[in-house]
Structure 1
Amino acid sequence: MAGWSRLARRSIAVVGGVAVAAGVVYKNDPQKFHADASWTSNFEPSVKWDHNWDKCEPASLVKPSKNQNSSEEKDAKDAENELKKHTATATRHLLLIRHGQYNTDGEEDSQRYLTELGRKQAEYTGQRLKDLGLSYTILLSSTMTRAKETADIIQKFFPDVPRKETDMLREGAPIPPEPPMGHWRPEKQFLQDGSRIEAAYKNLFHRADASQETDSHEIVVCHANVIRYFVCRALQFPPEAWLRIRLNHASITWITIRPSGRVSIRHLGESGFMPADKVSVV
């Protein structure tokens, strides 16, 4: 087939009792990776991907031309140049780290410090991040004690990486889960925590700016509920599903945001770099 590479993937799906061949056809374009569905039926996905989820789709950032006197050729060239100015070329990698095990008997945040095991878990995670051999651009953390202490330990492995803290990443109840949780929480808590955590998501999750020339890797130390909610939102899953995900202490969740706006997960709650007897979840 002219202009197209070989059919890279093929599978057989059963839709309405009828076997349907499906796959993905990849277009030969040195400038842009492009994929089109190759379903042999009129299959429609139950949920379609929102390509402008971060409102950074280049076309949405270019102001429409109002010059009626210019030629169509000039308009087209100007529009192409404007699109190029707003088109990202770099990939952002967010490595979300859950804090280590902490003292759950503490009544106040200052008393909910890392346990001896939690500190060891943070060391394993810091070493794992170092072993990956990546160039990190920032170490961002929640302002809660257990997250700050975890970030402190990780920072020892990267003393030259800039460090920031933010209240937006503090633990909370992002949205009423479905199915419901086993214990009651007032609706007010979801309203207050949810708006803050959603704001944190919108602030942190977006494709790279067009001015960013190289891929970036950002370490974000925060909390299980926050990370679980971020995962659902980033993958455009129902956010109410956040409680169905379990994350071990000091685990790594690696999310990749491509210049096209495509989002994928490389690791979800990875903790296999720790000895089995050092792994904990609550």
Structure 2
Amino acid sequence: MRKFTAFACGTGAGLAAFYLQRLRDPKQTAWVHNSWTNSERPVDSWALWDSNWDCRDPKSLVRPQKNEQPQEQNRYNSDLEKNHVKSARHIILIRHGEYLDVGDTDDTHHLTERGREQAKFTGQRLHDLGIKWDKVIASTMVRAQETADIILNEIDYDKAKVKNCPYLREGAPIPPQPPVGHWKPEASQFFRDGARIEAAFRRYFHRAYPDQTKESYTLIVGHGNVIRYFVCRALQFPPEAWLRISINHASITWLTISPSGNVSIKYLGDSGFMPVKHLTNRIPRDAKNVV
């Protein structure tokens, strides 16, 4: 017991001396104030957060002051207040359920039985979360439409209000880094799909409008490649990194855009609410192997 007490006292005294020395050293004082989220190490330019990524920072929407006159200052401050965002936006992205890739057109790409069950589990999960949806948007591809329809049977939302968006269709957003050998779409596909998927991102990802007085919830039912690209773009990661992310069928990805424009991710490909046998992420190519 005496040895333990001596050890504890010695350790405490050592730590106290260490921090006292840091506080006495002017160079170390900054370490105390800049701990946790700040550092004296310069931040690489690629890692800096662009607070006006959606071009909706109030200062970028207001005509600058012409002079320092009180009347002009009042006008400027008033315009800033009118464009001040008050509430957050929550964007919940759902990947479609498992489907069978047979036939030459999208019309034949229907959900498997397991894919339908996956969608139902996701719908039940969203119902249990108790979210009041402001918007529901779905890709126009068959597998996304079928997934959305099953989810809508479980949540409180009028099917007639669902928006169908062709911009959300699956595609090749941008050549991935590192390259992969098992998937080689034509360069023209990246050029064509990339512009469309980027347009979808700009359409749905932005901070709230100034007149939004409460937090809003948007549900988007889409596709793996598109969702992964959206995540990289929203978090300001290199968009070429999209293929490094894997998300399961019918999984939930939840992003929040704060009034300041900061973006955080709450769920990434969450599917832990499903039984293990329903966890899939690849497309079955053979109907014999489909559950």
Counterpart residue identity of residue 219, structure 2: I
Query: Gapped runs of 5+ residues in structure 2?
Result: 1-27, 283-291
Residue pair 1:23, 1:37 contacting (<8 A) in 2 also: no
Q: Give the corresponding residue for 1:4.
A: none
Rounded to whole Å, the distance in 2 between the matches of 1:125 and 1:53 is 31
Q: Give the corresponding residue for 1:152.
A: 149
Q: How does 1:249-260 map to 2 (within 5 A)?
A: 249-260=249-260
Superposition misfits of 4+ residues, deviation over 4 angstroms: 20-25
Is structure 2 residue 248 aligned with structure 1 residue 248?
Answer: yes
Over the aligned positions, Cα root-mean-square deviation in angstroms equals: 2.0
Higher percent of residues as strand: 1
Residue pair 2:65, 2:73 contacting (<8 A) in 1 also: no
List per-residue Cα deviations over 1:133-177 (Å, max 9, x = no partner).
111111100000000000001111235343110100000000000
Query: Using a 3 Å threshold, how does the CA distance of structure 1 residues 87 and 104 change in structure 2: closer, same or farther?
Result: same
Q: Give the corresponding residue for 1:168.
A: 167
Higher relative contact order (CA 8 A, sep 6+): 2
SS of the residue 1:136 aligns to? coil
**TM-fit CA distance, 1:80:** 1.1
* Equivalent pairs, count: 250
Rounded to whole Å, the distance in 2 between the matches of 1:59 and 1:94 is 25
Q: How does 1:187-198 map to 2 (within 5 A)?
A: 187-198=187-198
Query: Gapped runs of 5+ residues in structure 1?
Result: 1-17, 26-35
Rounded to whole Å, the distance in 2 between the matches of 1:37 and 1:77 is 35
Residue pair 1:254, 1:266 contacting (<8 A) in 2 also: yes
Q: Which has the larger radius of gyration?
A: 2
Query: Using a 3 Å threshold, how does the CA distance of structure 1 residues 73 and 42 change in structure 2: closer, same or farther?
Result: farther
Q: How does 1:38-57 map to 2 (within 5 A)?
A: 38-39=38-39, 41-46=40-45, 47-57=47-57
Counterpart residue identity of residue 60, structure 2: S
Query: Using a 3 Å threshold, how does the CA distance of structure 1 residues 210 and 113 change in structure 2: closer, same or farther?
Result: same
Higher percent of residues as helix: 2
Is structure 2 residue 136 aligned with structure 1 residue 139?
Answer: yes
Give the TM-score normalised by the residue count of structure 1.
Answer: 0.84
Give the TM-score normalised by the residue count of structure 2.
Answer: 0.81
Query: Using a 3 Å threshold, how does the CA distance of structure 1 residues 23 and 179 change in structure 2: closer, same or farther?
Result: farther
Rounded to whole Å, the distance in 2 between the matches of 1:83 and 1:219 is 30
Counterpart residue identity of residue 177, structure 2: E
The percent of aligned pairs where both chains have the same amino acid is 49
Q: Give the corresponding residue for 1:119.
A: 116
